[in-house]
């Protein structure tokens, strides 16, 4: 496959959240608002791109038997870096995301790409793959965040959309609303992808 298609497949066709159903914990937990979804998505993408790059560069030196622990150490190193950077430059976002920043380590999207793709592919392809999957993940989280914020508070990115007269569905800002919103969005994506034959 060409580099371009490695990049573009992650955005819709192999979208991590809606198609592969991976990385659900952060998806549900931090998407009370669009900006938190975007922040988490960008942080995860940064780790994914860096770990794909590093693992692809080292793929010929890592012995097959201890590859999984090696991948986890590489990923954990980048997560620690992102954790510290967020803490230093965006403390408000860091506080909002809470324990889900260190938990990027166990996001199955990242280990999944490392095992299934970066450990077997050349550097440029792995970078494109990481960027595409990361972008798709960030897009899904922002979308879910926007839907929940719109229904739960009438705003998107803190901009009031529905006007002062809108009586918000408070439930979409709380944990049950996360499950309901994602379930409904998944059904919608299923419907659209059948209609436009994306399978």
Partner 1 sequence: MGEIFAIVFGAIFINNFVLSRFLGICPFMGVSKKVETSLGMGMAVTFVMGLASFVTWLLEYYVLVPNQLEYLRTIVFILVIASLVQFVELVIRKASPTLYQSLGIFLPLITTNCAVLGVAILNIQLGYNLFEAVVFGTAAAVGFTLALVIMAGIRERLEFVFVPKHFQGVSIAMIIAGILSLAFGGFKGMM
Q: Footprint of partner 1 on this chain (CB under 8 A)? A: 21-22, 24-26, 28-29, 68-69, 72-73, 76-77, 79-80, 83-84, 99, 102-103, 105-108, 111, 171, 174-180, 182-184, 186-188, 190-191, 194
Minimum CB–partner distance for residue 175 and partner 1 (Å): 5
| Residue 166 dihedral angles phi and psi, to the nearest 5° | -70, 125
Distance CA 86, CA 61 (A): 31
DSSP alpha helix (H) spans, the chain: 3-9, 24-29, 34-57, 67-89, 91-97, 108-113, 123-153, 175-195
Nearer Cβ to partner 1, position 40 or 146? 40
Nearer Cβ to partner 1, position 11 or 28? 28
Minimum CB–partner distance for residue 42 and partner 1 (Å): 19
Nearer Cβ to partner 1, position 69 or 122? 69
Minimum CB–partner distance for residue 84 and partner 1 (Å): 7
All residues at 6 or more sequence positions from 98 whose CB lies less than 8 Å from its CB, including other chains: none
All residues at 6 or more sequence positions from 163 whose CB lies less than 8 Å from its CB, including other chains: 154
Minimum CB–partner distance for residue 123 and partner 1 (Å): 24
């Amino acid at each position: 496959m060409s580099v371009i298609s490695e990049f573009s497949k992650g955005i819709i066709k192999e979208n991590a959240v809606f198609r592969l159903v991976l990385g659900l914990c952060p998806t549900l937990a931090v998407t009370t608002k669009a900006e938190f979804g975007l922040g988490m998505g960008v942080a995860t993408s940064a780790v994914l791109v860096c770990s794909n790059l590093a693992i692809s560069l080292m793929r010929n030196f890592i012995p097959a038997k201890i590859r999984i622990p090696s991948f986890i150490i590489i990923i954990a190193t980048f997560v620690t870096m992102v954790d510290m950077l967020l803490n230093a430059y965006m403390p408000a976002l860091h506080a909002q995301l809470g324990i889900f920043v260190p938990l990027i380590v166990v996001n199955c999207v990242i280990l999944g790409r490392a095992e299934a793709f970066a450990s077997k592919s050349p550097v440029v392809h792995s970078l494109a793959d990481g960027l595409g999957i990361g972008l798709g993940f960030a897009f899904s989280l922002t979308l879910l965040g926007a839907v929940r914020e719109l229904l739960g508070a009438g705003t998107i990115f803190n901009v009031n959309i529905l006007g002062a007269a809108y009586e918000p569905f408070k439930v979409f800002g709380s944990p049950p609303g996360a499950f309901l919103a994602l379930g409904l969005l998944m059904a919608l994506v299923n419907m659209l992808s059948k209609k436009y034959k994306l399978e």
